[in-house]
Structure 1
Amino acid sequence: MHKINIGLSEEQRRGVCDLLNRDLADAYLLLIKTKKFHWDVIGPQFRTLHELWEEHYETLTETIDALAERIRQLGFYPVGSAEGFLKMASIKEENQEIPTATAMVEKLVYDHELIIRNLREHIDQCSEQYHDEGTADFLTGLMEGHEEMAWMLRSFLEGESVQADDVGVRKEPVSATN
């Protein structure tokens, strides 16, 4: 194997790749959860959420590939098993119960925000501890993507949702003059 000579020691690259593998594991579990919710969502928000989550899992798929390739660029191998993902991830697997659409959104907001907090720490570690500004910049881009997805999901929660059971619906009769 050709020795990698990019200005980072093997120890620095190994430390960075450990962080990247943790981010990869979180992204994979978030992808699984997003796909599952995409399949299972029901109710008046079905189409909106179904389409939003399709966009999100496509973005997450690209993120996963980019993380794995960054690990390879640094001379190591990405985690690639369900067991490995579960061991390294900070995100927890979803149980088998099917939550309401709103609860699904809340769970995904929580996970995106957890990933954002982790990425902030990893960016600092890449810069300060491992002196790898390239990976710090790479992770900053990933963090911004999660910030956007979390914002979209929070906006859904903050908006007025459609109520199927007439909760919060105006009960006044509508007349021709209204």
Structure 2
Amino acid sequence: MVSPKHADPFHAAEKSDGQVRDSQPLFHQYGAEVQRFGDVRLFPIALGYNARVESCQLLNHILADTIILYNLYKKHHWLVRGHTFYQLHLLLDKHADEQLKLVDLMAERVQTLGGVAVADPRHVAELTTIPRPPNGAEQVPAMLSRLLEAHEILITKVRDAVDKTADNRDDGTNDILVSDVLRTNELQVWFIAEHLVDVPAVRIDQDG
């Protein structure tokens, strides 16, 4: 006869040495928040507390905008239409992938500084200053213009953060902002802006 203890699959099995062994996952676990958003832990990276706090704040606002920009690119990648569909469909997805890499890079930098990176979409929505687009599809020129406006909002914050991190000697954050975030966004602006130039593929010389 099987004992009630061993008949229960959720009951811990005992080893021969008396130790308890149990492979059943423990669900619905809850605990206290171990670090509040905005708090910064002490890491031995030879950078002052105030400098790290300011860098985390700057990065999180840029990070929030970058997450929104990434999602704008994915939205427009799915909804773009018209005779340039194929080219824009691929380009917008490429830009989205590049923005996603920046998201991870900045989030890990916040963690390296001892902070907490913004991540939850509802929290991101509270921090971003990029206007919300309509839920439906827009005309292609409006989509591209919206992307350019989002880029400019983000780039403005990046330039401000570049100056402040340079003043604070936070060279690691400054390098990421200049070498990765700024240059990627500037290059993407160029690629998107050129699609808004009204130049026909063929021009007939009326005098010829």
Aligned Cα root-mean-square deviation (Å): 2.0
- Residue identity matched to 1:147: E
CA distance in 1 between counterparts of 2:66 and 2:120 reads 13
Establish whether residue 137 from structure 1 lines up as the match of residue 175 from structure 2.
yes
Q: Note the C-alpha offset of 1:157.
A: 0.9
Answer whether contact 1:41 1:49 (CA < 8 A) is retained.
yes
Higher RCO structure (Cα 8 Å, ≥6 apart): 1
Structure 2 counterpart SS, 1:109? helix
Answer whether contact 1:45 1:101 (CA < 8 A) is retained.
no
Establish whether residue 157 from structure 1 lines up as the match of residue 157 from structure 2.
no
Structure 1 unaligned spans of 5+: 163-167, 173-177
CA distance in 2 between counterparts of 1:161 and 1:38 reads 24
TM-score by length of 2: 0.74
Structure 2 unaligned spans of 5+: 1-40
Structure 1's 108 and 126: CA in aligned 2 closer, same or farther, altered over 3 A? same
| Candidates 35, 41, 62, aligned match of 1:23 | 62
Question: Max radius of gyration: which structure?
Answer: 2
| Candidates 135, 146, 158, aligned match of 1:107 | 146
The number of aligned residues is 165
The structure where helix makes up a greater share of residues is: 1
The superposition leaves residues 99-141 of structure 1 with CA deviations (integer Å, 9 ceiling, x where unpaired) of 111111111011112211110011111112x321221121012
CA distance in 1 between counterparts of 2:115 and 2:127 reads 16
TM-score by length of 1: 0.85
Q: Note the C-alpha offset of 1:5.
A: 2.1
Establish whether residue 70 from structure 1 lines up as the match of residue 112 from structure 2.
no
Answer whether contact 1:33 1:93 (CA < 8 A) is retained.
no
